[in-house]
Structure 1
């Protein structure tokens, strides 16, 4: 590689890293406990699923009625079933059906007895999640973190390009004894070892930050087309049985099981339709959802179709980002890689600071000599 090209890549690596490092450190530090959020909530005595009752799930109508009775003044936005705990159902409630998700509460229920178990997450993990997702800044915060993730990917690519020119005379894994040189060797070694993982987590994180505008696009195009034939129909006064709605949705998508029900007026339905989202039974298809739109008054199927590619990309990217599709062994691997990523980011910041300080000291000495 020509020296001028190397210098250009070095500039790209330095500035993309510098701009994004503080925010990437925030994401790594908050992402580490999120990998184990189920376990941490259990240790805190929150969202503990036991004791769950064995047997068939209770009537969805009974579950909805119980949740509304437990939370007067609120309405249900979603009812769903936990994929990790078959006996666990969750209910998401808010002030109105169309209220923002950040204002909602999520409560766990025993799916067989429709009995309240408690909040689905501790206050601590909710704060950590908000910091990780949008820094309490809503959509602008999500998009900003997406931009930082894009810079991280650019830093990874430029770092990989620079790895060979800077280390070609060293055996792989060499750590030289001088303090700053040792940190440089650690930074290079850990960076190249984790480059692929960092790129995957960074790209999937960027995709996840786009979820809100992409869901808005789906509602404006696909969902709008699914309800075109029902425009102008009168508002629903008496709603159909949820059990009937769920049974009809399963008939429309044979071999699939319900993931969650979106109530009329919520983010994944319309003012006069239920949205039942079903998933497959294999490890891969369980991450892919198929929506069935049903008339809220009659329970009849209005339309069903597969999700567009961009929403499928979000669904696939989420488990890759958090490493929660392979059980505890994969979580431990993700956690170890996250810690290595923190070392890479921290060492890069340290190297920049010491180089800047050394350059400043040299310039001061030169000025004094004159």
Structure 2
């Protein structure tokens, strides 16, 4: 059992970690709700691109033809990345930018992988889902915004853990789940805050933890490139980026990558000189066929001149953790039932956060008849001043 001094310390930590992160967590929960259903909302708004139906066995165009079709739309740009749709591998998305360097100025072209015909020129910097995504990922502030949200995620985890510690002394005179409806509005909200907080605690830990990991993605990739990839590229030291005119055809390079990792499928391609590749390689990121392995990537580096595989390094544990956490954060593992569950828990967490803010704002409200001071969790107890037992 916690001593009064320990209880005050836990309460102080819970109170301030909650207060500092609450508004930002509310923003993330509100923006995260539509992102759970981003595919379904895209279909509803007509922004989701679909390849037209064709007979089974329709031959595929080569990767070179697909990229040529995309480049024809913006001949003054270079191809940075290309990816196949997770839902339909007949659909390619090609990203073009002014230079291979990292930039926010990019165009996305959807190309039919069978006919090499352009299907759509997707706007990537406008619309409702774009705003929701940028607010959720980085607050329109790039890496600084991501790291700031990561700090808020850490405070959320502190608030959750301290709230769980405070829950037992708070509930010592109440039945589990009891809401004192005959008491003051503040006490009713305090009970509801604690009930929803303890019910959603595991989900909040999972989503808060995975969200915090996701904010470190850029730094993790840069560290991997510095720590592991640089050793693999030692034979190319001092050589400039391979000019486009000296690069081999891409379809043989893709075939070589797939042959090197039988049973895997293409997810993503990064071209020479871009963020996720080297100046000398086409980097093919391959994925497995099961719900779990489809989220894990195997990089295969193929020499841009010779179309020969030169390396296929295993991803380190921290990048594996990142890849696993990304779909878990949005409930992408279990289809629609898991998405609905994630949405319901998200809404419950919004209530927890909102009620915690309400309890803080009403902390100096006068007690109603019957004196709240005699009630566990009243405004005079450390647990109540800490906004209850959850974030």
Shorter-chain TM-score above 0.5: yes
2:216 and 2:256 map into 1 onto residues whose CA distance is: 32
Secondary structure at the residue paired with 1:103? coil
Q: How does 1:1-370 map to 2 (within 5 A)?
A: 1-53=2-54, 54=56, 55-100=58-103, 102-118=104-120, 119=122, 123-177=127-181, 178=183, 179-233=185-239, 235-237=241-243, 238-358=246-366
2:51 and 2:97 map into 1 onto residues whose CA distance is: 26
Q: Is the 8 A contact 1:258 1:279 kept in 2?
A: yes
Single out whichever of 79-88 and 325-334 deviates more from structure 2: 79-88
Cα distance, 1:132 vs. partner?
A: 0.5
Cα distance, 1:230 vs. partner?
A: 2.0
CA 1:343–1:318 in 2, change beyond 3 Å: closer, same or farther? same
CA 1:347–1:56 in 2, change beyond 3 Å: closer, same or farther? farther
1:212 and 1:197 map into 2 onto residues whose CA distance is: 25
Q: Is the 8 A contact 1:90 1:120 kept in 2?
A: no
1:182 and 1:171 map into 2 onto residues whose CA distance is: 14
Single out whichever of 147-156 and 2-11 deviates more from structure 2: 2-11
Cα distance, 1:235 vs. partner?
A: 4.8
1:336 and 1:114 map into 2 onto residues whose CA distance is: 41
Higher share in helix: 1
1:311 and 1:196 map into 2 onto residues whose CA distance is: 23
Q: Is the 8 A contact 1:291 1:306 kept in 2?
A: yes
Name stretches of at least 5 consecutive residues in structure 1 with no aligned partner.
360-370
RMSD: 1.6
Q: Is the 8 A contact 2:206 2:329 kept in 1?
A: yes
User: Deviation string for 1:1-56 (max 9, x for gaps)?
Assistant: 21221111111111000000000001001000111111112211112315244534
User: Deviation string for 1:41-87 (max 9, x for gaps)?
Assistant: 22111123152445343211010000000123221111111112333
1:157 and 1:78 map into 2 onto residues whose CA distance is: 41
Q: Is the 8 A contact 1:18 1:349 kept in 2?
A: yes
Secondary structure at the residue paired with 1:98? coil
Q: Is the 8 A contact 2:84 2:267 kept in 1?
A: yes
Cα distance, 1:212 vs. partner?
A: 0.5
Secondary structure at the residue paired with 2:363? helix
Secondary structure at the residue paired with 1:213? helix
TM-score (norm 2): 0.88
Q: Is the 8 A contact 2:11 2:162 kept in 1?
A: yes
2:43 and 2:260 map into 1 onto residues whose CA distance is: 37
Aligned residues: 358
Secondary structure at the residue paired with 2:9? helix
1:309 and 1:46 map into 2 onto residues whose CA distance is: 36
User: Deviation string for 1:105-143 (max 9, x for gaps)?
Assistant: 333222222222221766221111111011011111100
Secondary structure at the residue paired with 1:245? helix
1:167 and 1:158 map into 2 onto residues whose CA distance is: 15
Secondary structure at the residue paired with 1:175? coil
CA 1:155–1:193 in 2, change beyond 3 Å: closer, same or farther? same
Higher relative contact order (CA 8 A, sep 6+): 2
